[in-house]
Structure formats: structure tokens, C-alpha cells
Structure 1
Amino acid sequence: MSPEDAEETLPLLRPPAASVPRGRRVFLAAFAAALGPLSFGFALGYSSPAIPSLRRTAPPALRLGDSAASWFGAIVTLGAAAGGVLGGWLVDRAGRKLSLLLCTVPFVTGFAVITAAQDVWMLLGGRLLTGLACGVASLVAPVYISEIAYPAVRGLLGSCVQLMVVTGILLAYAAGWVLEWRWLAVLGCVPPTFMLLLMCWMPETPRFLLTQHQHQEAMAALRFLWGSEEGWEEPPVGAEHQGFRLAMLRRPGVYKPLVIGISLMAFQQLSGVNAIMFYANTIFEEAKFKDSSLASVTVGIIQVLFTAVAALIMDRAGRRLLLALSGVIMVFSMSAFGTYFKLTQSGPSNSSHVGLLVPISAEPGDVHVGLAWLAVGSMCLFIAGFAVGWGPIPWLLMSEIFPLHVKGVATGVCVLTNWFMAFLVTKEFSSVMEILRPYGAFWLTAAFCVLSVLFTVTSVPETKGRTLEQITARFEGR
């Protein structure tokens, strides 16, 4: 029996045609799983307030030079890339629920190592561990939520993954305003601990239970999450679940969504968002803002608000429309950002300058100072545009488009792509700015945003209102 036939023997997990499920526990289960993304959002945002704090208050053995600070910000993405591979293996073998529970261990351990750090290597080791947990959580949480949600709310709940990520980043920025780096690391242990306690009471996803031939447990999970199992279609049971094999890549139901998923993750990072977010405080300090922490918190608030807007309209507007709109906004904002640098830093002596938002030569009353608001506005517009589409939707689509029998491997490849690209962009963006000048670097990201819009229009399917089985059937031509 082929994997496709095996998958067709699973019940079509959709609501009865006569009514929408009344169960509300699905929202509680989604919240429990989304605490993982909240934790990795905090881990991502931690470096921004922690780096200045380490430079100001840490003992000499922990002082970060420029190179160490760069690694402190970027090494979390290397750990996350490894976590993506580990998560792809875990999610199919240990299950969705247990994988989420296990990722709390490196989260708490990593922040504990940072708290107890005696040298720079312990700081980097702690960041690497939290990055590993980020990779697992970023893969498993969207999969868990997509498999427990019914189609009418899958966009809303799936978008909450990114909403919790940006909330975690905002929490790190806001807490970093009042806490020094050790106490900030202690705070980082709280969300994963809460997730561990809450997830213990949540069920495994019905789809995973069915692949393990646990029919009664799957129906019990449905009743817990959706309030009823009445009306489920029950095809013949007893098919054997098969894992991924390379020969499957020849099938359109596998290679089409894989190409789409990898491309979405690559374009998300090539937009340049992490280059801005990882060093938000540093960016604003170089911009001569009086309180860079407050400016970073403002950026975080914009992210949270517009990601919440995206979550609320996702199941009405659809994925493709929001992706295209988001891409267009990012094109204009990054083009304006590049134009600002072209107007203010066109001199040869500034070719290697990587400070953002304010020109070197600006004096009080200088005409260039007014142009600084062009950069501030462009940054805020970019963050809002990213939050509406290219922030949440690639993660949501990744959890929707893959058939069950390849989901672990395929999502692992997508998450690996995302975090590896995040590392490259975060680590090398300054070098690109030196080579192309700042305006050239931001115009390059604008060009990638143009490509992302074209890719959305030509290749990304609309999954709004469809069951996961219907999405798979469309790729397979059924």
C-alpha cells in the first residue's frame, strides 16, 4: 500500500457539515502549544537588550567585544537550525505533544547556563542551547496547532504562532528596559516552564494517534478538542503508516509543497527582518535616540499589533492576498530606506559606515535630520507590513501543505532553511552593507521582496477554509 493510500484510510478530520464544532478546548490546547513560540521569541529578543547590558555591567571575563557580540546574537540561529533537524525527527517518532514537552528542557537549561555564566563560552553555550529549543518549537508548535484546529479557525490559531513569537520579542525588549542580563535570563525560564505544566494536560493530535493505530485515543482527543466526534467520516482502518523515502520526491504531492515551503522560508529571511530585529537596540543607539530601549519596545509593539490584525483576518482575507499585500508594503518601505541612505551617505568616506537612521555628518538643524524620519517611518512601515503577511503565513502554510506521511521530514527541511538563512543574514548583513553600501544592501532586500510577491502570485496555493486532506488532494491532482 502506498503512503498516499495509507493516508486516505485516515478519517477526514473535518467538522460535520451541519454545524461548527462547539468545543473551545482547542483554543486552550493551541495556547499551550504557542507558549513554545513565545519562549523562542523571548530567546530571539534576548540578545538585543542583553548585549548592551553585558557591555555595561558584566565582569571583565564576560565583557563582549564586537566579534563576540555578533556571535552572541547569531549563534542562536545555528542552534535553531540543528533544532529544526532534531524536531523533524522527533515529531514523527515521539509525537507532537511529547516533542513540545521535550523542547522545554534546552530552553530552561540554556537560560540557566547563561544565568550562571563565568566566561563568554558559557554565554555562547547557553545561547546555543536556547537556539536548539527554538528550532524544535518553531517546527512542532505549528504542526500541533494545525492538526488540532478545524478549518474555520486554523488560520486564526496558526497565526497565533507568530503572534506569540513577536510577543516574546516584545517581552524581552520591555523586560530588558528594567532588568540586567542575568535576571533577564531568569525570566526566560518562565514561559517554557509554564508550557511544560500546561501541555501535560493537553491531548496528542488525532492525526498522529491514528498513524499509531490508536483509534479510540484519537476519537477521545477529538471529543476533548472539538466537543464531539459525531459526523466524522470513517474510512476502513488498518493501513500501515509509512515514513519518508527519497523516491517520494518524484510525486507532485510531495515535491510541489516542499519547493513552496523552502521558498517561503528563504524569502522570509531574505526580506532582511532579522538583520533589523536582532540588533534593534544597537541600531537605535547609533541613531542617536535618547532611549534606544524605548524605541525598540515601540518596534515590538508595532509587530504585535499588526500580527494580531493578521490573525484576526487570516481566515477571511486568505493567505495569498495577505502575502502579496505584505510583500508590496515591504518593497516600498525597503526602497525608501535605501533612498534615505542614498541621500545622506553617498560620500566615499561613508562607504563602510553601518550605523543606521542618522547620517554621520548630521548636526542640529541640518536638513539631513529631517530625513531621519524617512528612515524611522520606513522601518516602522516595513515591520507592520512584515507582520501582516510574511511573518506569520510561511509558518502557517508550512504546517498545512505537507501530507501526513512526509510532514516530519518536510517541515524539518523548511525550518532548517529558515534558521540557516537567518544565521547568514544576521551574521553577514553588516558585510553586505560594507560591500554594497547601506543603500545598496537595502535595495537588494527590496529586490528580494519583489521576487517574493511574484512567487506568491504564481506559485502559492490558497488554503483558506480547506481541510488538510483537501490541500493534499489538490497537490496530488485528486
Structure 2
Amino acid sequence: MPTEKGSGSKAAKGGSIPKSESSSSTATTIEPSTPTSVDPTTSETQPLLAGSSSNPQGSSGKDDSLSRQIFLSIILIIPCIAPGMSFGFSAVALDQLPLTISQASWFASLVFIAAPIGCLLSGPIMDKLGRKPALILTGVVGLIGWLIITYSLTITNLFIGRFLTGFSQGLAASPSTIYIAESIVVQNTKLRGSLASWSVVAQTFGILQVYFMGSLLRYRKVAAIAAIISGLGVLLITFIIPESPAWLNSKGRRGDADWAARRLRLGPPSTQTEPTSRGDAEAGTSGQETMSTSNIFKEFMKPEAYKPLLIISLFFLFQQFSAVNVIISYMVDFIRSSGFHILNPYFITVIAGLIIFASTISISFILPTTGVKPLSVASGVGIAISMFVIGTYLLFEKAPVINFEWGFFNLIPLAALILNIVASSVGFLPIPYVMLGEVFPMQIKGVAAGLATCLAYIFSFLAVKTYPYLHIMLGNGIFFFYGLVAALGAAHVLVYLPETKGKSLDEIIRGFSS
């Protein structure tokens, strides 16, 4: 890693240093209480950062660094909770609203048509303005949307609120994952797989919250709680999280990157470079700052850009048309359609929310050991089996050969639903989003991640919007359709999805260019 500049040096290539770090023409330390060392190549003093050579082997230093990484990651994923609530909000609100089939399908799917707009804007915002403004904007837009739903008096206002919460969902899809992957755990490939999945964990926690509160409260009160969570996320990001040191470095703002790294207290800012344009790999003049639309298009013509974009986009296509978000958005109705009638569907919905949340938490511990490929394949196979079981159960439910009144047979759709939820939650649901921060080159990471997520939400909109009509057209055959798509998704993952376990970001991207 290149030697970090001391506090006395000026920010490279236009980078600015906050007033608290300003120095005179002679080298000085940043803070009187901070121990310093001398860089032999520059004869300038520099602070001994947390996790640096001052205590390279100390176990307490490692523990402090780990706890700090976890703390910062929790702060970074809070803006993803309320957008996650928008996923499951329709499942608990539809029974309380006097809507036609067409209006109900729009109410459920509107968040997914608004989300791509947020995704498309999220990339340029992250690349041009930074990761932090993208996170703050996520909370602000969500806060406005949830307040409109809370105080809505007309269906039009409800749709406007749903659109804004969907817009917030699109904005939330990438910034947290990218910030964590490039600045919090960039030097710890094992921890990267765990913490990078926490943004999805936060969204599933939002789903659990909306299912639980929706079983107890009216939809307006649920929306008010989501608004409070959105506002909390804005405050925490504003006052605790600095701009991403990796992003600042990519802009040539080394002084600001040093300051941000000291604010994070995780050690020196990463100077790890990912493959850039062949003509220019210098950090200070990296293409991210001056890259035009034509240059971005040229970058996407390279295999290290278009290959991961194509693979991840197809993964999202199979993910959505295997009913991952359809079940979340229509959970109550889906439970009724599966043939399970013993228990209250709202009770089963809360249990399903707990399973989704617990499964996505477990993946943060499992993923570093198994890698993304085995989990994704197992997930697709599990979803396919569960759909085929439900379809077969409904096909023979009224057959005179078997008495389906027996309690044992009544548990078959419940068991299949649980299998479906667990399988999707440990693979198809989180893993494509986790990989967004790992597979794209730095200079187009924001745009590429935003584009991939945009496509994901377009697929989500189509899947959720068409579910009521497909159910009418295909009847119970819709379960066989979803199962077939899941099986095709598992085959796609097995053949094309790259394994990222134990690899640096540079190694992953080089694999696409080979």
C-alpha cells in the first residue's frame, strides 16, 4: 500500500482539508494527543492510525477494529429499513383499502416501477456527489413518502406516497453495500461478504416490522413509524458517517480521504485500485471525476464491465420471476392461494417475516464460509421444489383418492411455504445485491450497480403487477411457472455466476477480463 501522506502535506490535486486539519508551512500533527511517526520518504509527520503499525499484532486492537466495523455498518444500513417496509406494506394494507383488482395491483407494484428511477439517479449521485449524499437522500425521500401515506385522504395521495417510498427503495439499493465493501471492510475479504449483506438484512427487518405492526395497527400508524425510522437514518448518517475514503481517493482528494479515514478510525484510507481504463490508472486523475457519457459507454464495452452486468441482470430476472418479491408483496393472499387454511394468514405472515429476517441474518455468517455460488444454487433448487410441491398439492387437493381433510396433508403447503421463504432468503433474495459492491470496476461502480438494480426493480414491477392476472389465467399452474423459472435461475448461477469468496476486489474484476 502506498505510504500515507502526513497532515502537513496538502490535499492532492484539488483535494481540500477541513479547517480542523489545516496546517502551516511546517509539518505539524493533527491533534496534540495523537502519537506521530515520520515517513522516511517524505520526512513529514503522520499519525499512527488505528490498526496501523503501532499495534500490528495486538488482539485488543483487532477487537476494537472489528467492533468499530460492525458499529459503522449498522449505522450505514439503517436507511435501508424503511425502504424494506415498503416491500411488505401492501401485504398488510390491501385488506384495509377499498381497491379494485387493478388498483390493488398498482398499489402493490408501484414501488417497483418507482425504484428504477431511484436506481438510475443513485449511480450518478454516488459517483459525482459521493456515497454519503446518496444515503441522506434515501432517507429524505422516504420520509416524505411515508408522511404522505400517513395523512392521505385520497387514493391518488396513497399512490403518490407509494411512488416516493419506491423511489427511496431504489436510492437505498446500492450506497450502503458499496460504502461497506469499499471503505469499511476493504482489507478483510472474509468480513466483506458478511457485512455487505447487511443492507439486505436491514430490508428484511423492515419487512418483519411491517408484517408485525400491520397485524396489530392500522396502515396509517405503520406508515408513521416508517417515517420516524427514515428520519432517524438521515440524522445518523449526517452526524456520524463521513464521506467514503475510497471515493475521495478516487477523486484525487487524498487530504479529505485521510480525514475521513481518521473519522472512521479504521486505519489508513484504502488506496487499492481496481482495473481502470487502460490509458489511465493514476488515482488522482481517475476517470470517475472527468468521465463523460461516451467514456462510460467505452468502459461498458470492456469484458470486466459488461460480463458482470449481464450475469447479475439475468440473476435478477430469474430472482423476480421465481416470485421472491411477489410473495413478499402479496403474502396474505399468497398464503390463502397456497391451500393452507388452518391458521390466520396474518399470523403466518408474521412467522414468515421472522423466517426471512432470521435467514438473511444467518447468511451474513454462512456466506464467508460457503461463498455465493453454492448458496445461490441451493436457493434456486429449494424455491423450485417448494413451488412444485404447492402446485401438485393444489392439483390433487380435490382428488377423491386422497382425503385432504387429514391434518397431515393440511401441513404440506405450510411446509412448502417455509421451504420457499428460507430458500429465497439465504440465496436468491440477498446475494445479487451483495455482489453489486464486488464485481464492478471502481470508475463505473455506481453507474453499473445502479443500472443492474434498476433492471432488478423493473423485473420486480412486472412480476408483482402481473401476479393477479397470471393467477386468473393459469390458476394453480402459476406455481409450476414460478418453480420452472427458479430451476432455470439455479442453472444460470451454476454455469455463469463467479465465486467471490476469499478474493480481493481486484482479483474478482481481473477474472472477468480474462
Q: Identify the TM-score tier after normalising by the shorter chain.
A: 0.7 to 0.9
Match of 1:6 in 2: none
Structure 2 CA distance, aligned partners of 1:208 and 1:345? 60
Match of 1:97 among 132, 150, 155: 132
Tell me the equivalent position of 1:41: 84
CA RMSD of aligned residues (A): 2.5
User: Structure 1, residues 203-222: CA drift from partner, whole Å, max 9, x if none?
Assistant: 22122111221112223333
Contact persistence 2:245–2:270 (CA under 8 A): no
Structure 1 match to 2:463: 425
Question: Structure 2 vs 1, CA of residues 431 and 115 (structure 1 numbering), >3 Å: closer, same or farther?
Answer: same
Contact 2:78–2:202, Cα closer than 8 Å, also in 1: yes
Deviations 1:316-359 (CA, angstroms, capped at 9, x unpaired): 11111111121221121111122112212689xxxxxxxxxxxx
Q: Note if 1:241 corresponds to 2:287.
A: yes
Q: 1:472 to 1:233 in 2, by over 3 A?
A: closer
Which residue of 118, 125, 129 maps to 2:160?
A: 125
Paired position in structure 2 for 1:308: 361
Once residues 233 and 83 of structure 1 are traced to their aligned partners in structure 2, the CA distance between those partners, rounded to angstroms, is: 29
The aligned amino acid for 1:191 is: I
1:359 aligned partner: none
- Counterpart position of 1:330: 383
User: Is this contact kept in 1: 2:384–2:484, CA < 8 A?
Assistant: yes
Give the letter for the 1:330 counterpart.
Answer: I
Paired with 2:114 and 2:258, the residues of 1 have a C-alpha distance of 37
1:465 is displaced (CA, Å) by 2.1
Q: Which amino acid aligns with 1:105?
A: V
Q: 1:219 to 1:465 in 2, by over 3 A?
A: farther
Q: Which residue of 2 aligns with 1:399?
A: 437
8 Å Cα contact 2:246-2:269 kept in structure 1: no
Conserved? CA contact 1:36–1:137, under 8 Å: yes
Q: Contact 2:140/2:234 (CA < 8 Å) preserved in 1?
A: no
Q: Does 1:25 align with 2:68?
A: yes
Aligned to 1:50: 93
| Structure 2 Cα separation of the partners of residues 136 and 164 of structure 1 | 14
Question: Matched residues in 1 for 2:272 and 2:235: separation?
Answer: 34
Which deviations, in whole Å up to 9, do the C-alpha atoms of 1:295-324 show, x marking residues without a partner?
100111111111111111111111111111
1:414 aligns with 2:414: no
- Asked if structure 1 preserves the Cα contact closer than 8 Å seen for 2:397 and 2:404, the reply is no
Structure 2 match to 1:447: 484
CA distance in 1, matches of 2:505, 2:481: 36
Q: Give the counterpart letter for 1:340 in structure 2.
A: Y
Kindly report which structure 2 residues correspond to 1:246-257, keeping only aligned pairs within 5 A, or say none: 246-257=297-308
> Which 10-residue stretch deviates more, 223-232 or 96-105?
223-232
CA distance in structure 2 between the aligned counterparts of 1:69 and 1:236, rounded to whole angstroms: 53
Q: Among residues 251, 266, 290, which one is paired with 1:227 in the alignment?
A: 266
Change (3 A) 1:187 1:230: closer
- 1:394 deviates by 0.5
Instruction: Show the counterpart of 1:215.
Output: 254
User: Structure 2: how far apart are the matches of 1:16 and 1:316?
Assistant: 27
* Aligned match of 2:505: 468
Work out whether residues 336 and 378 of structure 1, in 8 Å CA contact, stay in contact via their aligned partners in 2. yes
* Contact 1:338/1:442 (<8 A) preserved: yes
Q: d(CA) in 2 for partners of 1:441 and 1:285?
A: 14
Q: 3-state DSSP class of the match of 1:303?
A: helix
Q: Superposed, which structure 2 residues align to 1:221-370 within 5 Å?
A: 221-225=260-264, 227-229=266-268, 237-242=283-288, 243=291, 244-284=295-335, 287-344=340-397, 366-367=404-405, 370=408
CA displacement 1:45-84 (0-9 Å, x = unmatched)? 1111122233xxxxxxxx3233222211111111112111
Q: Is the 8 A contact 1:16 1:230 kept in 2?
A: no
Question: Are 1:167 and 2:205 an aligned pair?
Answer: yes
CA contact 2:326–2:464 (8 Å) conserved in 1: yes
Instruction: Specify whether residues 246 and 72 from structure 1 end up closer, same or farther in structure 2 by C-alpha distance, changes over 3 A only.
Output: same
2:193 — aligned with what? 155
Note the residue ranges of structure 2 that are not aligned, 5 or more in a row: 1-50, 274-280
Matched pairs, number = 438
The question of whether the paired residues in 1 share the 8 Å contact of 2:122 and 2:171 is answered with yes
The 1:301–1:430 alpha-carbon spacing in structure 2 relative to 1, beyond 3 Å, is: same
Return the alpha-carbon distance in structure 2 between the equivalents of residues 436 and 444 of structure 1: 9
SS of equivalent to 1:412: helix
Q: Report how far residue 379 of structure 1 moved.
A: 0.9
Q: What percent identity do the matched residue pairs reach?
A: 28
2-side partners of 1:221 and 1:265: how far apart?
A: 34
1:302 and 1:446, CA in 2 relative to 1: closer, same or farther beyond 3 A? same
Shift of 1:392: 1.2
Equivalent-residue separation in structure 2 for 1:268 and 1:445 (angstroms): 10
Corresponding residue for 1:7? none
Q: Distance in 2 between matches of 1:182 and 1:154?
A: 38
Q: Is the 8 A contact 2:85 2:226 kept in 1?
A: yes
Measure, in 1, the Cα distance between the counterparts of 2:249 and 2:449: 20
Q: Which has the higher contact order (CA 8 A, sep 6+)?
A: 1
* Larger helix fraction of residues: 1
**Deviation digits for residues 120-162 of structure 1, max 9, x if unmatched?**
0000110001100000001222222222223221111111111
Letter in 2 for 1:293: Y
Q: How does the TM-score come out when normalised to structure 2?
A: 0.80
CA distance in 2, matches of 1:345, 1:229: 67
1:344-399 residue CA offsets vs partner (Å, 9 max, x unmatched): 2689xxxxxxxxxxxxxx9xx85477533211111110100111111111101122
Whole-Å separation in 2 of the counterparts to 1:290 and 1:333: 20
- Structure 1 unaligned segments of length 5 or more: list them: 1-14, 55-62, 348-361
